[in-house]
Amino acid sequence: MREPLYRQALSQSWQFAWRHKTLWALGLFASVLGHTGLLELTSELRLSTERAVLVSGWRVLPDILASFFSGLKTLSYDGWIWFAWLGIILLGAGIFFVFTAVAAQGALVRASADFVRHKAVNLDRAWIAGVSHFWRLLILNLARRLVV
């Protein structure tokens, strides 16, 4: 079996994307963690200073945290409860978002493999495959982030 030409690969990927529009939502979630995805774009964001010198965002983090914690000192008891609830909600949303993005990557791999094998693409079967390979995919994503 020979490798397909670039033109053939683009044609097949376009056919796959056009025929299976239900997978577009998974593609949006998977693109967050993918190469040059939203997470990578925001983590590589740089801040410009007055001299037009690029400075890493981590250098200004202590100043941001200091002003944040000085504002927390003035919170009342009710404010602390609301702050704790906000933290729990944001943590839960972040965990849900990362889980959905990683499982969507696995689901897209399964769906594209079914498409290449000329099998019927089943969204449920693809999602189950993505969820079952969640930890392996998460470790791969973390390892790629550490290496890059």
For tokens 């079914």, what's the residue? 114
The residues, any chain, with a CB within 8 Å of residue 75's CB and separated by 6 or more, are: 83
Please give the pLDDT value at position 100. 94
Amino acid in position 21: K
Output the six-digit token pair for 63.
């100043």
Strands 54-56 and 46-48: antiparallel
Tell me the per-residue pLDDT of 14-29, one tens digit each, with 9 for 90 and over: 888 888 888 888 888 8
Q: How far apart are CA 116 and CA 121, in angstroms?
A: 10
126, HSE (Cβ side, Cα atoms, 13 Å): 23
Q: Which residue has the higher pLDDT, 9 or 86?
A: 86
Q: pLDDT by residue (tens digit) across 35-64?
A: 666 666 666 654 433 444 445 555 666 777
Q: What percent of the chain has pLDDT over 90?
A: 28
* Token pair in block for residue 124: 């449920």
Q: What's the chain's average pLDDT?
A: 80
C-beta separation of 99 from 134 below 8 A: yes
pLDDT at 37: 64
Report residue 61 as tokens: 């983090």
